[in-house]
Structure 1
């Protein structure tokens, strides 16, 4: 199947103000995926002029409080943990019997991957029913953003168990942050029917899809610096996908009750900060 073509076609409909047709599609989606609209700021299908507005709907005030403890890292999204754990010999676990390369995930450059060698990672899958805005798990300053072209395989658990190097093959947007405790990467992975990946500072990164890796550098301070606080929105998926977060070594320790298939809720703690290192250069 032409996954990019289908995804972009769906994206055109999702962005269109199609009146009653948009409203009907939203009603069907709410029913089909049992979406709890009581959690949304706007609760009725008629409140949204496009399907994208509905899909990236805001939550009602106070629905997802952000854990205030500065020693805790909070979940960046609603979803479910696919895999998480240690980055060993530059490899992350995708599923039983499948690993993938940290360097490939982050765009193919060893210098970008180096701060995360022997660190930790968490891969969280967003189902269609989930809230699709991505927030910061901890405060940080953006160092680099990388667009990595690739496939648009589905990223559901079944595909993860059967498609080698899935998250390092799909189109993605990599964001690298400096924090008070080390380096943080937030990787927004595209998938089939993902019509758009956005960041709050740059808007839509894809589409259009490219064939080359693109990199944007950001200053640490002054004009153009991007500082985001813990819990602040950093990006959006227009139709669902996966977020992979990677941390520097000796930076965090995941809470023991969190592991594969654990349901995640934005703002709840899922790791404890261990180190007090200076931000990576």
Structure 2
């Protein structure tokens, strides 16, 4: 009897020992597996640095954006008009947070670096191939003549390459693509179809001297610019691509009386961004030249863009653009009229006026009789010297 009890007790203890051993082994295996999972998670989190997250999310967004553009192109091919998608305030703020001014200054310094003779032809040939530059129009076709990228961008043309149309009153001041044109309505200007900006915000307060049609200045900003009864305001926007001729010229015979420089952002001004960001040209740095022509008010505005912080006006040595520091919303005025110069700067049609370091945008806003008509189509390519419109 005692032996039987002892045997059962021993078996029970043996079972307990086996169970505890098995349970302990299972716990150790679970603990080891859990530690491996934690270690793998920690390793993955360590490897996922901010740059990886940014690249991943950025790549996904670009892919989504490109898919949207593909869908829009398919709809346009079917003849269906696609309304522009305008960025919200957060999207604009995120875009403006990119240090485009710093990048543009760095690009400007890079452009000034003199290239060795053996490197000039390969570098310029790549640029010519990428952007479709026609070097047969250049005054100097030899690529080794241009010491740096800046000289290549600002190359002059052969005199016969751009004949100036004398039979029309307003010509294109530059090579480029017509983004939009027409009459100014309700103090709003369309940068592309369906996306507008405020004329007053773009040009700034009307403080320069113009011919007054009356003492009453209680009208709208648009009315203040129209100096003659029966006239209206017209506008035309020309986008200069990187491969275009980078200089701009006087679009008509006129007298430049005033310069206003708006420091600002340097966002891209290509047509896709112009469809996306409302008042794009009001955000960007720009130089407004205003004065008079035979029919009243006339203005030409050179708008800066990414990598185009440098805007040069040949008759204005004091102008400095893309400064490291500026006050948001500020502008600098300068009058070309003085006690010794009552006329300002008189420009002839086709005369050299200024230049960009890379492609950008020219905006014309001018007064003309109601029968003025544009000889243009939105989206068409145009060259300096060709007619914009006539009466």
TM-score (norm 1): 0.89
What are the equivalent positions in structure 2 for 1:1-281 lying under 5 Å apart? 1-20=98-117, 21=119, 23-69=121-167, 71-106=168-203, 108-111=204-207, 114-115=224-225, 118-203=232-317, 205-208=320-323, 210-211=326-327, 212-219=330-337, 223=341, 225-250=344-369, 253-256=372-375, 258-272=376-390, 274=391
Cα distance in 1 for partners of 2:122, 2:112 equals: 15
**Farther off after superposition, 206-215 or 156-165:** 206-215
Cα distance in 1 for partners of 2:237, 2:247 equals: 16
Structure 1 residues 222, 230: closer, same or farther in 2, change over 3 A?
Answer: farther
SS in 2 for 1:206: coil
Q: Which has the larger radius of gyration?
A: 2
Structure 1 residues 149, 202: closer, same or farther in 2, change over 3 A?
Answer: same
**Farther off after superposition, 194-203 or 140-149:** 194-203
- How many corresponding residue pairs? 270
How far off is 1:260 after superposition?
Answer: 1.1
Structure 1 residues 252, 142: closer, same or farther in 2, change over 3 A?
Answer: farther
Cα distance in 2 for partners of 1:102, 1:116 equals: 13
More strand by share: 1
Residue 277 (structure 1) aligns with: none
Cα distance in 2 for partners of 1:131, 1:242 equals: 12
TM-score (norm 2): 0.65
Structure 1 residues 190, 76: closer, same or farther in 2, change over 3 A?
Answer: same
Cα distance in 2 for partners of 1:74, 1:213 equals: 29
Structure 1 residues 252, 56: closer, same or farther in 2, change over 3 A?
Answer: farther
SS in 2 for 1:247: strand
More helix by share: 2
How far off is 1:22 after superposition?
Answer: 5.1
Relative contact order, higher structure (CA 8 A, sep 6+): 1
Question: Deviation digits for residues 213-247 of structure 1, max 9, x if unmatched?
Answer: 10001228954831110000111001110000011
How far off is 1:45 after superposition?
Answer: 1.8
How far off is 1:196 after superposition?
Answer: 0.8
Cα distance in 2 for partners of 1:96, 1:179 equals: 28
How far off is 1:93 after superposition?
Answer: 0.6
- Please tell me the root mean square deviation across aligned C-alpha atoms, in Å: 2.1
How far off is 1:18 after superposition?
Answer: 3.0
How far off is 1:3 after superposition?
Answer: 0.6
Could you list the runs of 5+ residues in structure 1 that have no partner in the other structure? 275-281
Could you list the runs of 5+ residues in structure 2 that have no partner in the other structure? 1-97, 209-220
Cα distance in 1 for partners of 2:123, 2:340 equals: 45
Cα distance in 1 for partners of 2:371, 2:332 equals: 29
Question: Deviation digits for residues 76-130 of structure 1, max 9, x if unmatched?
Answer: 1110100111110100012233110111111x20446531595010000001110
Cα distance in 2 for partners of 1:119, 1:111 equals: 18
Cα distance in 2 for partners of 1:158, 1:240 equals: 15
Cα distance in 1 for partners of 2:242, 2:335 equals: 32
**Farther off after superposition, 220-229 or 116-125:** 220-229
Q: Do 1:79 and 1:264's aligned partners in 2 also have CA atoms closer than 8 Å?
A: yes
Q: Do 1:141 and 1:220's aligned partners in 2 also have CA atoms closer than 8 Å?
A: no
